[in-house]
Chain A
Amino acid sequence: MIAAAFVSDEGKLTGWCANSVISPDNLCFIAETCRSILSANRAEQRPAHTGIAAFGNRTLVFREGASGLFMAYLDSPTDDAVLEWLFDQVTPLLESEGIKLD
């Protein structure tokens, strides 16, 4: 994993970790962009809660919850099993901070 972040509905970076290449500002910008994609799909009657974007061998996973958007930037391709494993790890951590993704 290269970076992970949770950005609240107000656009605030609630928690994050990243290598030095990705700045917090960029993480916020990426979260806002992902949110606009999900929002546009809702407007088109095609609501989605999770996105998996592949950039060559790197993958950006994002999932929108009631209070914000979680993202993980991975240095590998993913499949459904990896996603399931990822959210099995992340969901309890977020829930311990009072954040629900589902």
Chain B
Amino acid sequence: MLHQALILTSNREYAQAMRQGLLKLGHAQTRIDVELDAVRAMQLAPQQYELILLDTVLDAMDGLQLLLLIKQQSPGSKFIVVSDSVDETSRAVAYQNGADFFLERPRTPEAFALAVEAIRGLFDPGRIDETPQDEEEGPVMNIMDIVRMRCLSGDSVLLLVRSQYQTGDIFIFRGEIFHAQYPGKSGESAFQDMVHWDGGVVRIKAIKLTHIPPRTIEIPYRQLLDAAGKPEVQGPNIRQKSGELFVITSEPPLDKAALSVMQEAPPRQEMTPVFFPTPNLVAAGGTPLPQLNSHWKVNLSGDLLEGSQMAEPDRCAFITSFIYRKMADVAVALELDYFNQLTLLGPHLQQVLVADNMGVRHAVFDTAWTTEELRRQYVKWCCEQSF
């Protein structure tokens, strides 16, 4: 139960919304203070607060440096660092300076609810012990809450899960569920089973992850948890096998023969072209658009802005956005500021993605008819469009 907390931020709207959320974790006398001025916050006695939420960037000073100072004054308080963007450097410094939890700033009511639930986990007496090596068994806790909390904070951790009858492992790497396994099963289906063991309340021991596990779960953790939270609703079951997606109808197969209901995505012959603008009309003057199969553009939020010759615009926008986000992760890992171009070479198709600070253009070429010169021409055309 939360008694007294401080929210230190320069974002007034967020402060009010978070204050309302935190009040739900307390009782009638719970006090949640909001301080918008970092200098004034330094004059407060931090020892009075059980919980202090502070931003990575404050108006007058660096929130992570302030964390270091306050943590020295009040080592018993719990600290949550809130960041507008999750980058590995800030996260690492936050934990190094004493944060208990690193959180991306919630922006929607759903994200606020998730964040508050994760914070509740910090005050749950059954929460994960951070020094589990001395324990034979972890405490009993709600598996969904723990996974959500670990993912929200971007942790890399191995959760050893033990129910009355079975044991299994869930690997979380950099805030995503990478892999789950128990004897006889692994991947997404193993995860879905495990969250229902003993009604979802099991013993969990957390161990720091020292290596990247093989990835058997590709879908984002929120989607996975949403699906796990609705066991009765049988939507289409998407499974991945040998790199290809299959959709299995909602009826469970009765026997092996029933597996024939597995349907592969339909072939792409029925292209639905003419999605503004058409390639040969686009480039009037300047570099002409080279001959290509299809091309499109998305903005940095993943919305499709324009395109041509696309079979499934939504899927095209999704894959471009997915690749862009992944390449942005690579840029962070390489300590570079930005990613600007990706070429993918395949046996039948070649793709070129060109990113700028407004969006990403994506083109698909036939390998048989494409040369390096055509790909360069496309990049040049993209640059001219940006101007």
A residues adjacent to B (C-beta < 8 A): 9-12, 21-22, 25-26, 28-30, 32-56, 58, 60, 73, 79-80
Contacts and interface: CB of A to CB of B under 8 A. Distances in A.
Nearest to A61: B343
Given A28-B211, A37-B326, A42 B344 contact: no
B222 interface: no
B346 A48 contact: yes
Interface residues of B, number: 43
Contacts of B349: 46-48
A55 B243 contact: no
Interface of A is mostly: mixed
Interface of B: 174, 211-215, 218, 240, 243-245, 265, 268, 315, 319, 322-323, 326-327, 329-331, 333-351, 364, 372
A45 B268 contact: yes
Contacts of A55: 331, 334, 336, 338-340
Please provide the 6 A-B residue pairs with the shortest distance between their CB atoms, ordered closest to farther. Answer: A48-B346, A48-B344, A42-B243, A54-B341, A50-B345, A52-B343
Nearest to A22: B334
Given A29-B329, A29-B333, A37-B322, 15 more contacts: A11-B212, A25-B212, A28-B211, A30-B333, A39-B218, A43-B245, A45-B265, A45-B268, A47-B346, A47-B348, A48-B345, A49-B345, A52-B342, A54-B339, A54-B340
B346 A56 contact: no
Contact of B218 (A36, A60, A73): A36
A45 B319 CA distance: 12
A53 B240 contact: no
A56 B322 contact: no
A40 B319 CA distance: 7
B137 to A, nearest CB: 28
Contacts of B245: 43
A54 B112 CA distance: 37
Contact of A42 (B214, B244, B327): B244
Contacts of A47: 243, 346-349
A29 B265 CA distance: 30
Contact of B215 (A12, A32, A38, A50): A32
B342 A53 contact: yes
Given A21-B335, A43-B240, A60-B334, A49 B342 contact: no
Given A32-B212, A46-B346, A58 B336 contact: yes
B233 to A, nearest CB: 24
Contacts of A37: 322-323, 326-327, 344
A51 B334 contact: no
B152 to A, nearest CB: 19
Contact of B319 (A34, A41, A56, A60): A41
Nearest to B178: A32
Nearest to A29: B333
A53 B333 contact: no
Nearest to A7: B212
Contact of A80 (B174, B215, B372): B372
Interface centre among B215, B326, B364 (most CB of A within 10 A): B326
A43 B330 contact: no
Contacts of B335: 21
A53 B339 contact: yes
A37 B268 CA distance: 20
Contacts of A43: 240, 243-245
Contacts of B319: 40-41, 44
A88 B364 CA distance: 27
A28 B245 CA distance: 25
Given A46-B351, A79-B372, A58 B346 contact: no
Nearest to B312: A44
B287 to A, nearest CB: 18
A53 B347 contact: no
